[in-house]
Amino acid sequence: MASAVFRAPSLAEAPESVRRLPPFTDLPLFHVRPDCREDWKAARLRKNALGERKANDGRAPIGVEGGIVLRFATGMAEPPIDAPDTEAVAEASRAPINADLSPEAKRDLLATMIRIRRFEERSLRAYQQGHIGGFLHLYIGQESVATGTVSVLGEHDHFITAYRDHGHALAGGMSMDECMAELYGKATGCSRGKGGSMHFFAPERHYWGGHGIVAGQTPLGLGLAFALKYKQIPGCCLCFLGEGAVNQGVFHESLNLASLWSIPVVYIIENNGYSMGTSEARSSRFSDHLASRAEAYDMKWETVVANHIYTVREATERHARHAREHSQPVLLEYKTYRYRGHSVADANSEKYRTKEEIEHYQETMDPITVYRKTLQEEGILDNEQVQAMEKAAKDEAAAAAKFAEKSEFPPVSSITEDVYWESDQPERTSGGRLFF
Amino acid sequence: MPEITYRQAINDALAEEIERDENVFVMGEEVAQYNGAYKVTEGLYDRFGEDRIKDTPISEAGFIGMGIGASMLGLRPVMELMFWSFSYVAFDQIVNNAAMVRYMSGGLTHVPIVIRGPANGGTNVGATHSHTPENFMAHTPGLKVVCPATPYDAKGLLKTAIRDNDPVYVMENTLLYGNKGEVPTEEYTIPLGHAQVLREGRDVSLIGHGRSILTALEAAGHLAGEGIEAEVVDLRSLRPLDIDTVLASVARTHRVVLVDENKPFCGVSAQVSHMIQEEAFDELDAPIRRVTSLDAPAIYSDPLEREQLPNPRRIQEAVQQVLEDAPRAAG
């Protein structure tokens, strides 16, 4: 049997009503009603003429400068970051938060970054094999940020992020098994197969997700921090967002509220240079640094080259401590880079930037490579240990994929579970129907 | 029993719950120092202070989202929207975050928030301030929606809403704030999902919620003068929905007129109508009729807005229509 192909009807065969184009009419700039009073009509027309004169009063119209017509930027932007901040790394390595770490603890940080990368690579393979559908936003290249920030959190601190959330989950202590199973949509997933890649949660680890709508989590992070302050708990909340989220209104509302009410929220912009396929230069206007927008809200800010975990830990610890001790918000911008596309489905990941740009970062600034070198220079890491870490991470990721594969899909009956707290209890407290 | 206003009933509910539970606080535009745009929170700021009664800037998405985040950590915020019309600038927070977070976390997160405020037309303020989004909200699994029509219900349902562990959206009505009604002095709550028969009758069921059901009650009074006995059923809670009380009424009267301030397309009455035909088809002697807001943006001009909203005359006409469709037995 021939495969069924939908054939569009030819226009020639189509009835007259289909072929006829709707009568497009140029709309006037404004509509003067026929019953309009003559003096009103005249006033409206005058106003319009005034507008036209203004555009031609000798000054260059908007979009033209020095006789040159400016075009909207369409080409490649400057690379988001092109050099490590060696001075900051040296300084951060001497800070107590890093200097006081045991060799083992330092190696653990490397192991966590390697685990995140191997998990992401394994999940990519599962996606390509068709085990995972939907969106898959990989964290590869940014590992120093999630690992570094979450590693300095105290017992009363909380964190919440956007949709590129696998790294934060693993850094926060979630297991590869529950994360991979969630990607597979299995009942053993961290959200019982109900959230998927963008919605990992572990409230018991103070990890509040995993949020799919750009900037949607920014007031939630504020609320978590507000609750800490309300309950007089000496903690703070790290709220991560991408640099593409900074142009959402709700983020600005959140910044204002945070500063207005002195809420201990630490906003961390993970600036990887591209909001999907749009470079920072094509999406945000700011002076000097993106994070300096905080000044408009009388809020502290800092921009950090974040490819080295020491700088991430030093800056995060310093600002989180300040947030806790003074109940003050801060806006941090961590310059980082993602190797893969916006999501796996982003086929253009090498079209809005050059291959060289990606390679340059990988060769000179890769968070895992640079930190490995640091530990080797410190004389606390040998090649065997690296290989063991690599192998352990790969094995763990492979085992997680196997676990996910073997796990059951959730039963159909679970579709209506976890909707309401009430309906998940043995007895209802309200009457009537909750589901339709 | 003392008679108090709808406004006072809500104020009392808030005060009692703030006193009862330290996790309860009220937040919204002008709720504290200004004493409430509609004076619903009058006196609460002086009584409980700024930690419990908090003025916000005009940032609905920001402060409602903040309340959702705070509720995830166990607080019970009662957020006031000056109008539910303003929920549209916070739609992502109200619908995506409040309603979905529990589900997407596989049941690990709870959002015990209350969002309340007036959702009504009829106040001569134009289309953008006259929305009735109870159908939008009740459409969303994860949300609960109540629409109290009387002071007694307003107090009892709000207290229950605050204690509920799910997000509950309470839709009030500026035209009802001044209405008086009996409210017991002793403490009480009203469980969600229980409709109430406000008037018994055998000829036709008038079913609706909020101020519309009071309009229906008024129409029922006029109809009684013409010898037509209308039963009036106040849904009170849209989600959960007490459809059983509705069906029982239909089984008594066999004729239905739904009264709804929503617009007709996908309004609350569309859902109720569907459920009646599906579950009580054999009980119906006539097609279900609806009296909704006329299908256009809320008009500013006062007399026309009265006509646009359900009013007693239009309800009486709809009742006459169903009685023509299915005349009562002679004698």
Helix, strand, coil fractions of chain B, as percent rounded to 5: 40, 20, 40
Instruction: Flag whether B58 is in a domain.
Output: yes
- Both B221 and B256 in a single domain? yes
Instruction: Please check whether residue B124 lies inside any domain of the structure.
Output: yes
Report residue A227's pLDDT band, with 50, 70 and 90 as the boundaries: very high
Percent of chain B with pLDDT over 90: 99
A134-176 confidence digits (pLDDT tens): 999 999 999 999 999 999 999 999 999 999 999 999 999 999 9
- Chain B hits for A220, CB-CB cut-off 8 Å, are 65-66, 68-69, 72, 97
Q: Is B190 inside any structural domain?
A: no
pLDDT at B150 over 90: yes
Taking only the tens place, the pLDDT of each residue in B196-237 is 999 999 999 999 999 999 999 999 999 999 999 999 999 999
Mean pLDDT score, A229-250: 97
Side-chain half-sphere exposure of A229, counting CA atoms within 13 A? 26
Give the per-residue pLDDT at A66.
Answer: 55
Q: Provide the phi-psi class of A192: left if phi over 0, else alpha when psi is between -120 and 50, else beta.
A: left
Structure tokens at A360: 């340059």
- Closest CB from B73, B191, B241 relative to A224: B73
Does residue B43 share a domain with residue B124?
yes
Residues B119 and B246 in one domain: no
- Alpha carbon distance A257, B61 (integer Å): 11
B95 in any annotated domain: yes
Judged by DSSP in three states, B92 sits in helix
Domain end position, chosen among B182, B207, B225: B182
Domains of chain A, first to last: 86-406 (3.40.50.970)
Q: Could you report the per-residue pLDDT of B30-89, keeping only the tens digit for each?
A: 999 999 999 999 999 999 999 999 999 999 999 999 999 999 999 999 999 999 999 999
Domain finish residue from B157, B182, B207: B182
d(CA B50, CA B56): 11
Query: How many residues are present in chain A?
Result: 436
Say if residue B44 is in the same domain as residue B171.
yes
The pLDDT of residue A83 is 86
pLDDT at A59: 45
Please provide the average confidence, as pLDDT, over all residues in chain A.
90
Instruction: Taking residues B256-284, report their average pLDDT.
Output: 98
User: Domain span at residue B256?
Assistant: 196-325
Taking the Cβ of residue A413 and every Cβ of chain B, the question of whether any pair is shorter than 8 Å is answered with: no
Across A190-210, average pLDDT = 97
User: Which residue in A179, A217, A297, A436 has the most chain B C-beta atoms within 10 A of its own C-beta, making it the best mutation to test that interface?
Assistant: A436
H or E element: which one contains A65?
strand A64-65
Contacts B59 to A, Cβ<8 Å: 253, 256-257
CB contact under 8 A, B72 and A194: no
- Do residues B245 and B279 make contact, with C-beta atoms less than 8 angstroms apart? no
Minimum Cα–Cα distance from B52: chain A residue: A230
B12 with B147, same domain: the answer is yes
The pLDDT score that the predictor gives to residue A58 is 46
CB under 8 Å to B246, separation ≥6 — which residues?
B195, B205, B207, B233, B235, B272, B275, B276
State the total domains in chain B.
2
Lowest-pLDDT range, A55-64, B8-17, B115-124, B197-206? Answer: A55-64
Residue B20 sits in the same domain as residue B165: yes
pLDDT at A62 (0 to 100): 46
B178 and B200 belong to one structural domain: no
What are the percentages of helix, strand and coil residues in chain A, rounded to 5?
45, 10, 45
Mean pLDDT of A113-128: 97
For residue A70, is pLDDT > 60?
A: no
The question of whether B129 is a catalytic residue gets the answer yes
* Per-residue confidence (pLDDT) for residue B330, from 0 to 100: 74
Task: Give the pair of three-digit tokens for residue A135.
Answer: 């969106």
Catalytic residue from among B60, B134, B172, B261: B60
| Statement to judge: residues B159 and B226 lie in one domain | no
Q: Say if residues A136 and A197 touch (Cβ distance below 8 Å).
A: yes
Candidates B24, B73, B144, B274, partner chain A, best to mutate (most A CBs within 10 A) = B73
**Shared-domain flag, residues B172 and B89:** yes
pLDDT in tens, B302-327: 999 999 999 999 999 999 999 999 99
Residue B188 lies in a domain: no
Regarding predicted confidence, which is higher, A65 or A246? A246
**Domain-located, residue B269:** yes
More confident residue, A353 or A329: A329
- pLDDT, residue A35, reads 74
Q: Within a domain: residue B258?
A: yes
d(CA B95, CA B89): 11
Residue A75 pLDDT exceeds 60: no
What's the pLDDT band for A104 if we cut at 50, 70, 90? very high
Look at residue A9 in the predicted model and tell me its pLDDT: 67
Q: Three-state SS for A175?
A: coil
Strands A300-305 and B53-55: unpaired
Grade residue A18 by pLDDT with cuts at 50, 70 and 90.
Answer: low
CATH number at residue B200: 3.40.50.920
Which pLDDT score is estimated for B233? 98
The answer on B113 and B87 residing in a single domain is yes
Q: Is the pLDDT of residue A7 over 90?
A: no
Is the per-residue pLDDT at B331 higher than 50? yes
Interatomic CA distance for residues A300 and A321, integer angstroms: 13
Same structural domain for residues B176 and B42? yes
From B147, B182, B217, the end of a domain falls on B182
pLDDT in tens, A389-415: 999 999 999 999 999 999 999 999 999
pLDDT digits (tens, 9 = 90+) for B82-110: 999 999 999 999 999 999 999 999 999 99
Say how many residues make up chain B: 331
**What CATH number did the domain enclosing B51 receive?**
3.40.50.970
Beta-carbon contacts of A184 under 8 Å, excluding residues fewer than 6 positions away, are: A126, A131, A132, A193, A404, A405, A407
Q: Do B237 and B152 share a structural domain?
A: no
The answer to the question of residue B149 being in a domain is yes
